[in-house]
A and B are shown apart, each in its own frame.
Chain A
Amino acid sequence: MSTLSTDVLVIGGGATGVGVAWDAALRGLDVVLVDRHDLAQGTSGRFHGLLHSGGRYAVKDPQAARECVAENRILRRVAADCIEDTGGLFVTTPWDDPGYADRFAAGCAETGVRCEEVQPSQALRGEPRLNPRISRAFRVPDASIDVWKTVWAMSHGAQQRGARILPYHEVVTIDRSGDVVGGAVARDARSGDELRIEARVTVNATGAWAGRVAQMAGIEGVRVLPGRGIMIAMNHRLVNTVVNRCQMPTDGDIIVPIRTVSVIGTTDQHTDDPDDHTVPQEEVDRMLDEGERLVPGFRRARALRVWTGVRPLFEDAKADSTATRDVTRAHALLDHEQRDGVRGLLTITGGKLTTYRLMAQETVDAVCRQLGESRPCRTETEPLPGSESGEHYRLGERLARKEAELRGEQLICECELVPRSKLERAIAQTGSTDLDDIRRQLRLGMGPCQGGFCTYRATGILHERDGLRALEADASLLAFLQERWKGVWPVLYGDQLRQARLDEWIFQGVLGVERLPTAPETAGAGGASGAGGASGAGGASGLAPREAP
């Protein structure tokens, strides 16, 4: 077993964990970060993309609203390139309590959320698909934020400053001797090799999984209540502004335009298992019904896919509840020295994407205290790599780039305008043979055809460049198809059903992927011809679902 030694070990590669690594690296600390999967593959990568203005908390949770106001301003500056300045609207529909609007306006005024009431007709001019029966409308500085881009930027920035970021490294033991945690042992999911990481301070930034990781260190009672919510991505921008229902936050009350899609969210169900990704049909139906109220015709529009995210809701021992939306969304930083008498371990959990930076700041402040060092936080002013110009992302960027290279650049994923050069670079940089890793980097296969056309192309390029064996490439292809299908089938109807059938036609009818040597159903071919004896070698691992039950 090889060993690394570092100041800070961060367990968890979500926005918070990578935020901690970026913050710590900026302060000159040496950092190692591990995650059992890829970065931002858990809760961070599974949300709707809202950068809160604070409006959603203005009435219910003024403290959270104030945090959002401050962080919204900071992130617009330091993570400009990851943010699209869509603006936000809160609208009162006929189904909303008409009295809430005034409380909302008052709450915004009190918490500092920049809020301007506009005439419904004016709101409708900007968003003509909105329900024309809205009676009140407020503009707020909501925006959409691309989490993956944010996380990659922080990860690259941290790496440039010496941090070692190790995805696909699952912590198997936490090294605790007596009352001191001295690091952890992680297993490389690809090679199976174990790696010991000695650290002066270990940060448990595993969100909804924080209780489990704390338990590995022998610490009980860190109770994180996973709240599961579904989100549905619609094929294009039904709205170009974040649209919220002006009411107490509830299911299906927000549509976020992010990148090429619009996402409706979300439900909120208590679950015992943070890896629970079930999508109950009644939740899908509820989302679609609520969508129809905000945007008439929503049910006829094309739904691409559905996914679930699991909120880490830290359960305050004093307030016990099973309705997770009522548990505080505030974050919790646990110094286990103070709490449990165990030195060298901190847990950061709860919170929300918009406040990830603040959470990281508070965490690294605590790290510095434990180390007895004074190192001021710089994330409030230091732009993330790529955001130096301070210019916000615009939806037309990829189209503009392709326009400039119209004849030179070959598109591999046509829906999301991913060119060959970017794909080849991502393959080289990640060293991954998993197309799903590439997808999170580039949005490969995330558009209307859901990989129908680009999966074969990308596999071909992967095979050629990486010198993979056929069986490995085939496994990548089949795993990606299965991964795409996972989010498609629970919300499959209308236009997307035609697409799914065309994709099936391409893969089964034209390419015959089910007849590949590694394919799931290949039995002995029955000696159809002299050359047809496929090697029945099973054992292709590519199809095993990555999320362990």
Chain B
Amino acid sequence: MTGPGPALDGPLHFDAVVIGAGTAGMTAAIRLAQSGARVCVVAKGVGSTHLAAGTIDVLGRIDGEERVTEPGAALERLIASRPDHPYALLGSGVVADSLSWFFETAAASSPRGYEYVGGLERNMLLPTAVGALRPSTLVPITMAAGEASALHRAAIVGTHALRDFHPSLCAANLREAGIEARPVFLELELERADMSALGIARRFDDPAWRALFCAQLSPALRSEDHVGLPAMLGLRDPHAALADLERRLGRRVFEIPTLPPSVPGMRLYEILRRALRSAGGRLVIGAEVVAAERHGERIAAVATRAAGRESHYAAPWFVLASGGLASGGIELDSSWRTSERVLGLPLRGVPDAGEPRFVPDFFAEQPLGRVGVAVDPQLRAEGAENVVVAGAALPGQAPWREGCGEGVALASGYRAAQVIVRESGAGAPAGARAT
């Protein structure tokens, strides 16, 4: 940190500062704000939500089980076999609690009718854009009709104007999986050649566009009882768009997630953002943490890069939800040193010197893949007792291989808030804001 600035340039004080605006950070922040804490989220940019499918995948694969059918039960087996996994630290109870909390919170901050469905009893198997079937635990209502067990005859609809979705490939792979799927191409006149699903999603907010779309699609449909579309059914009121399409087409309609930017992911971010705002939390985007003030085992404040100078945020508690290797929260430099970038915390899961970090097989598990910030069972960082770690920064997980990224983010964010609330004295922390 720089020396004392002008008198007005002191730090801003909060009960907790959350670093990172992905699912984990937002969950921790909302929970904290809901319990009365003054909380501020600082983030370099918008987080992981925009890149993910918009589903909450709790557990899709564990050792020896290619495809997890019952995530709740599999969770127990995982916890038993991998004591270093974040789920083992969290316990299955926290996972279940965090999902219930998410249902409630999402329901309160979602656009009307846009709800998440599913549960720990059974994973849903949903088609991906390439036509593989991916297990998810909670999915937005707009994807639910794609559940493979109920999918018999489906039209997979796309347009050449959208380069990020290929109905013929998707349908062909679904046929390999025993689903009678047929590609349907629409000729849509769009104003640009490089249109993303997001660009089309903005059109789907408009009922007139939906009517035109359906008028073109209807005649192309045959005996299919389901219609699969790339995930682009609007941002503002996706449930209305879904209902509108189902009514006009007379068939069940479902969204299929595709390449980033993820429309369902953006909806999820918006839900979390709204929930944070209505709970009274603050959010500062474009504010990368560049320094920390440390007193022994405690972090006193962090400094973010704001325009022209650093802004300082002081708090008795910090939640580190800055992600793992994908976000750059943890990095490997050209001298092969691995480090936690925000606070310089010790890591776990770094291969020993001389051991491979990566292996030649793209599909094999990469040795560096499970790296994370070393934590105690309370998720507190080693060497920084007032820093609680959540999300992809936690060691021991393989978010995509195991299909557990969002589940870990949600449960650990939830847990981080719980730890802080409990440790700082039951009930509302000091300085709670009266609203």
Residues of A within 8 A of B (CB): 288, 299-300, 303, 405-412, 414, 420, 453, 456-457, 459-461, 463-464, 469-471, 473-474, 477-478, 481-482, 484-486, 489-490, 492-494, 497-498, 501-502, 504-506, 508-517, 519-526, 528-535
Contact = CB atoms under 8 A, between A and B. Distances in A.
A36 B65 CA distance: 41
Contacts of A461: 166
Given A498-B325, A506-B259, A532 B166 contact: no
A453 B148 CA distance: 26
B176 A470 contact: yes
Nearest to A534: B177
B142 to A, nearest CB: 16
A506 B53 contact: no
Contacts of A303: 334
A530 B403 CA distance: 21
A287 B193 CA distance: 41
A302 B293 CA distance: 30
Nearest to B185: A464
Nearest to B179: A531
Nearest to A498: B328
Given A457-B166, A531-B149, A525 B67 contact: yes
B130 A511 contact: yes
A493 B177 contact: no
B175 A470 contact: yes
Interface string B133-154: 1110000000000011101100
Contact of B163 (A408, A412, A494, A516): A412
A493 B338 CA distance: 9
Contacts of B183: 464
A533 B177 contact: yes
Q: For chain B, what secondary structure do more than half of its interface residues adopt (helix, strand, loop), or is it mixed?
A: loop
Given A405-B193, A508-B400, 20 more contacts: A299-B333, A407-B192, A410-B161, A461-B166, A481-B362, A482-B362, A493-B332, A493-B336, A505-B400, A506-B260, A510-B129, A510-B258, A512-B130, A512-B133, A514-B132, A517-B173, A525-B66, A528-B123, A531-B125, A531-B179
Interface in B323-348: 324-328, 331-336
Given A497-B332, A501-B325, A532 B133 contact: yes
Contacts, number: 203
Given A470-B176, A494-B333, A508-B400, A513 B132 contact: yes
Listed from nearest, the 7 A-B pairs whose CB atoms lie closest are: A460-B166, A470-B172, A501-B326, A529-B149, A509-B400, A485-B362, A512-B134
A528 B163 contact: no
Contact of A510 (B149, B163, B259): B259
Interface string B251-264: 00000011110100
B360 A459 contact: no
24 contacts: A411-B193, A414-B194, A456-B259, A457-B163, A457-B164, A459-B166, A464-B183, A470-B172, A470-B173, A485-B360, A494-B333, A497-B332, A501-B324, A504-B400, A509-B52, A510-B52, A510-B262, A512-B130, A516-B131, A519-B363, A522-B66, A524-B66, A528-B125, A529-B148
Interface in B101-160: 123, 125, 128-135, 147-149, 151-152, 160
Contact of B401 (A459, A508, A528): A508
B51 interface: yes
A511 B51 contact: no
Question: How many residues of B sit at the interface, in one of the four size bands?
Answer: 35 or more
A331 to B, nearest CB: 34
B173 A516 contact: yes
B281 interface: no
Contacts of B52: 505, 509-510
B209 interface: no
Nearest to A486: B360
Nearest to A480: B362
B277 to A, nearest CB: 28
A528 B61 CA distance: 12
A405 B192 CA distance: 10
A482 B360 CA distance: 8
A519 B327 CA distance: 27
A412 B148 CA distance: 30
A402 to B, nearest CB: 10
A478 B262 CA distance: 23
A288 B333 CA distance: 12
Contact of A521 (B134, B147, B258, B363): B363
Nearest to B147: A529
A509 B399 CA distance: 8
A519 B133 CA distance: 12
Contacts of A529: 69, 125, 147-149
A522 B260 CA distance: 25
Residue of A463, A469, A530 ringed by the most chain B CB atoms within 10 A: A463
B260 A531 contact: no
Contacts of B193: 405-411
Contacts of B419: none
A501 B336 CA distance: 17
A126 B363 CA distance: 44
Contact of B325 (A405, A474, A497): A497
A461 B166 CA distance: 7
A515 B168 contact: no
A129 B131 CA distance: 47
A439 to B, nearest CB: 16
Contact of B130 (A408, A456, A498): A456
A477 B332 contact: no
